[in-house]
């Protein structure tokens, strides 16, 4: 007993002695308050347990709901790559911190108008440059600092936090939390930047890579004299190189062809391939149900593809943008995600707001972020569905891809004749007309070379075609070993593999995969591609079967196996 008292006295004396030193390091007054808050809370927490607050009730409710949220006091090292342990936990995370629930900004305040990056003038650029330089100069203890902002992405995307009331790690990618989580992240990031230069109209630029004028890296990001420059990038992709929204390896095509391909690709990802909620938003990820691991169209590409396209070809995981633990260290991350965020709203508008998720488990999922006043805020998904209420908007951007519905590369009737004769001559690596033959379990089928299977369509759907149902190609049980970026494309009734691209209607969609994020993210993945409109355009909607081709586009596909290819119908 005596010994314990003695140790406690020494520890306390040490803490008290260190306080002035710590405060000298921490510059801002607000930060001191925060630090005091943390300390007080830690001491109170140790004394009384931290359940004795007004949040008791919400814990009870949370037990019934399957909403997801992080346990901020359960943070641990995580894997940025299988061979790289990273530590992105904030200082002092072990102690519970006081937080408040999100409140909308004052509706009277200025609207922050996010403008396409290529339209920014010198004044806009220097404002942002100043804000970002200040942010980069803040000490790591300050949650507003650029390093801490960047680590938020590492925390939520590599499974560093555990979920509340569970010991399962939380990871927001490849699920329906992808869009809302990133919206919240850049919302606070933008407000912090604005407050650092005392400008409440400050808005993030948008890298509008979906319109021809925006298809290059915006100029100020490659200006070495500005804080937007980042050395960990693929320099061969600097302007005037056009972005390849379906990037796997270099295509070496003309600018015009790249633009055409990008626009047609956007059409598939935003329109014909995204006619059901889950196809665009990703799979339903709920507490106690395990990680769902099936991203939506836009998350796979252009989102993942452009992360990879930007990241440095000299780094093992194409860091920084090419891996989630490091991506947000590159300032272009935030302009990339403004566009992702904008496209979420564009998709909702195209779908006339009929496909919005109503599931309370999604609406009540929540995260914690520091705001510009260093307050810790609990934000729910339901809080961020209306950007007008969040006080920002997007400058109107053209949607040239809306009328870029692709055409078949070969007249459909001719294509079918060729496919049938190829099949009779046994020219496919694998082909059969039995449905079960596209099932490769238990061993799986490697994707080191292309694969074509003939898959039967359901008879019911040949007779009475229900308009509301979306015919969907499902590649089941995709398993990725190794750590390299993986990309394969899926085509229907394809004749010539050498000339094909997403410019043509045969393109059903893509699997673009950034490995990483620990054990949970290694789970097998299902790829779902909506093809009802495609089948009409290929005049195949009355056919009993279709040929589906998986075309590997990276060498890493040799590390990939799949379990089955099937056709399913989504209501
Ligand atoms: Cu969380 Cu663009 O990645």
pLDDT in tens, 85-102: 999 999 999 999 999 999
Task: Express each pLDDT in 229-243 by its tens digit.
Answer: 999 999 999 999 999
Whether residue 429 has pLDDT greater than 70: no
Whether residue 433 has pLDDT greater than 80: no
Straight-line distance from the first to the last Cα atom of the chain, in angstroms, rounded to the nearest whole number: 67
The question of whether 153 is a catalytic residue gets the answer: yes
CATH number for the segment(s) 412-570? 2.60.120
Structure-block tokens of residue 353: 């707001």
The answer to which of 102-116, 240-254, 479-493, 507-521 has the lowest mean pLDDT is: 507-521
The answer to which of 38-42, 444-448, 550-554 has the lowest mean pLDDT is: 38-42
Nearest CA to ligand 1 atom 3: 324
Tell me the pLDDT of the chain averaged across its residues: 88
Cα 373 off chain centre by: 27
- CA 149, 152, 153, 155 dihedral sign is positive
What pLDDT sits at residue 428?
Answer: 59
What pLDDT sits at residue 540?
Answer: 94
423 pLDDT band, cuts 50/70/90, is confident
Alpha-carbon distance of 539 to 228, in angstroms, equals 48
What pLDDT sits at residue 520?
Answer: 66
Residue found by looking up tokens 């509008």 in the block: 208
More confident: 50 or 492? 492
- Say how many C-beta atoms besides its own lie within 10 A of residue 250's C-beta: 12
Binning the chain into helix, strand and coil, the percentages to the nearest 5 are: 40, 15, 45
More confident: 336 or 41? 336
**Residues in CB range of 406: below 8 A, 6 or more apart:** 264, 267, 268, 502, 503, 504, 505, 507, 537
**Residues in CB range of 283: below 8 A, 6 or more apart:** 174, 175, 176, 292, 293, 294, 295, 526
Share of the chain above pLDDT 90, in %: 75
Alpha-carbon distance of 493 to 439, in angstroms, equals 19
The question of whether 182 is a catalytic residue gets the answer: yes
Measured from the Cα of 153, ligand 1's closest atom is 1
Q: What is the value of pTM for the model shown?
A: 0.88
What pLDDT sits at residue 420?
Answer: 87
Whether residue 172 has pLDDT greater than 80: yes
Alpha-carbon distance of 170 to 515, in angstroms, equals 16
Task: Express each pLDDT in 387-401 by its tens digit.
Answer: 999 999 999 999 999
Task: Express each pLDDT in 105-136 by its tens digit.
Answer: 999 999 999 999 999 999 999 999 999 999 99
Residue 141 φ/ψ, nearest 5 degrees: -65, -20
Length of the chain (residues): 571
- The closest of 47, 223, 34, 19 to 120, measured between CA atoms, is 223
Alpha-carbon distance of 494 to 546, in angstroms, equals 10
Q: Average of pLDDT values for 197-223?
A: 98
CATH number for the segment(s) 70-403? 1.10.1280.10
For the chain, domain boundaries? 70-403, 412-570
What pLDDT sits at residue 192?
Answer: 98
What pLDDT sits at residue 523?
Answer: 83
What pLDDT sits at residue 467?
Answer: 64
Measured from the Cα of 333, ligand 1's closest atom is 2
| Rounded alpha-carbon distances, angstroms, from residue 163 to 68, 172, 363, 419, 437 | 7, 11, 16, 50, 40
Alpha-carbon distance of 526 to 477, in angstroms, equals 6
| Residue/partner pairs of 351-355 with CB below 8 Å, 24 or more apart | 351/275, 355/276, 355/277, 355/280
More confident: 416 or 341? 341
Distance 31 CA to ligand 1 centre (A): 28
Task: Choose, from 189, 307, 336, 513, the residue flagged as catalytic.
Answer: 307
- Say how many C-beta atoms besides its own lie within 10 A of residue 564's C-beta: 19
Task: Choose, from 118, 336, 337, 476, the residue flagged as catalytic.
Answer: 337
Alpha-carbon distance of 69 to 162, in angstroms, equals 9
Measured from the Cα of 173, ligand 1's closest atom is 1
Distance 483 CA to ligand 1 centre (A): 17
Whether residue 182 has pLDDT greater than 80: yes
Structure-block tokens of residue 276: 């059901």
State the Cα torsion 71-73-78-80 to the nearest 10°: 70
Whether residue 23 has pLDDT greater than 60: no
Pocket of ligand 1 (CB under 6 A): 153, 157, 173, 182, 303, 307, 324, 327, 337
What pLDDT sits at residue 437?
Answer: 60
**Residues in CB range of 306: below 8 A, 6 or more apart:** 209, 243, 245, 247, 321, 336
Residue 79 φ/ψ, nearest 5 degrees: -100, 115
What pLDDT sits at residue 60?
Answer: 53
The question of whether 324 is a catalytic residue gets the answer: yes
What pLDDT sits at residue 198?
Answer: 98
Task: Express each pLDDT in 357-387 by its tens digit.
Answer: 999 999 999 999 999 999 999 999 999 999 9
What pLDDT sits at residue 432?
Answer: 41
355 pLDDT band, cuts 50/70/90, is very high
Task: Express each pLDDT in 30-67 by its tens digit.
Answer: 333 333 333 333 333 333 333 333 444 455 554 589 99
Distance 153 CA to ligand 1 centre (A): 7
Structure-block tokens of residue 436: 């079960």
Residue found by looking up tokens 């699997």 in the block: 511
What pLDDT sits at residue 457?
Answer: 87
Distance 488 CA to ligand 1 centre (A): 20
What pLDDT sits at residue 25?
Answer: 37
């Amino acid at each position: 007993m005596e010994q314990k008292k003695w140790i406690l006295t020494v520890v306390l004396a040490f803490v008290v002695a260190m306080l002035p030193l710590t405060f000298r390091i921490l510059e801002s007054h607000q930060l001191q308050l925060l630090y005091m808050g943390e300390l007080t809370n830690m001491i109170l927490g140790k004394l009384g347990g931290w359940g004795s607050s007004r949040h008791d009730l919400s814990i009870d409710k949370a037990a019934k709901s399957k909403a997801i949220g992080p346990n901020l006091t359960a943070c641990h090292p995580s894997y940025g790559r299988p061979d790289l342990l990273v530590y992105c936990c904030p200082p002092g995370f072990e102690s519970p911190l006081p937080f408040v629930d999100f409140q909308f900004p004052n509706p009277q305040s200025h609207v922050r108008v996010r403008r396409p990056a290529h339209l920014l003038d010198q004044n806009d650029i220097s404002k942002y440059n100043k804000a970002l330089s200040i942010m980069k100069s803040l000490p790591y203890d300050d949650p507003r600092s650029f390093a801490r902002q960047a680590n938020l992405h590492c925390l939520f995307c590599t499974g560093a936090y555990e979920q509340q009331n569970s010991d399962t790690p939380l990871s927001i990618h490849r699920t329906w939390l992808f869009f809302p989580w990133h919206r919240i992240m850049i919302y606070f990031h933008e407000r912090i930047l604005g407050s650092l230069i005392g400008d409440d109209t400050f808005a993030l630029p948008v890298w509008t890579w979906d319109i021809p004028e925006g298809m290059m890296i915006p100029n100020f990001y490659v200006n070495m004299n500005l804080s937007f420059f980042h050395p960990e990038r693929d320099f061969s992709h600097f302007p005037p190189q056009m972005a390849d929204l379906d990037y796997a390896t270099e295509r070496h095509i003309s600018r015009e062809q790249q633009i055409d391909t990008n626009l047609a690709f956007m059409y598939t990802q935003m329109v014909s391939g995204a006619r059901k909620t889950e196809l665009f938003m990703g799979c339903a990820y709920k507490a106690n149900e395990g990680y769902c691991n099936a991203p939506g169209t836009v998350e796979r590409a252009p989102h993942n593809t452009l992360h990879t396209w930007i990241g440095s070809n000299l780094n093992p995981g194409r860091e920084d943008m090419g891996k989630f633990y490091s991506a947000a260290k590159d300032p272009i991350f935030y302009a990339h995600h403004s566009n992702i965020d904008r496209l979420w709203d564009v998709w909702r508008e195209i779908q006339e707001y009929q496909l919005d998720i109503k599931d309370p488990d999604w609406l009540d999922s929540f995260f914690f972020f520091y705001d510009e006043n260093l307050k810790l805020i609990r934000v729910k998904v339901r809080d961020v569905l209306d950007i007008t209420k969040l006080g920002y908007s997007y400058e109107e951007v053209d949607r040239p891809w809306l009328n870029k519905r692709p055409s078949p590369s070969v007249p459909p009737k001719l294509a079918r004749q060729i496919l049938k004769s190829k099949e009779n001559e046994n020219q496919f690596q694998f082909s059969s007309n039995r449905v079960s033959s596209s099932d490769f379990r238990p061993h799986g089928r490697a994707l080191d070379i292309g694969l074509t299977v003939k898959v039967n369509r359901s008879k019911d759907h040949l007779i009475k075609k229900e308009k509301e149902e979306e015919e969907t190609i499902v590649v089941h049980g995709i398993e990725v070993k190794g750590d390299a970026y993986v990309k394969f494309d899926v085509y229907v009734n394809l004749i010539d593999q050498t000339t094909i691209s997403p410019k043509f209607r045969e393109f059903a969609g893509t699997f673009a995969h950034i490995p990483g994020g620990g054990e949970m993210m290694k789970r097998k993945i299902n790829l779902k591609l909506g093809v009802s409109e495609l089948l009409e355009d290929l005049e195949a909607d009355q056919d009993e079967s279709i040929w589906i081709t998986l075309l590997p586009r990276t060498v890493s596909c040799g590390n990939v196996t799949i379990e089955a290819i099937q056709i399913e119908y989504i209501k």
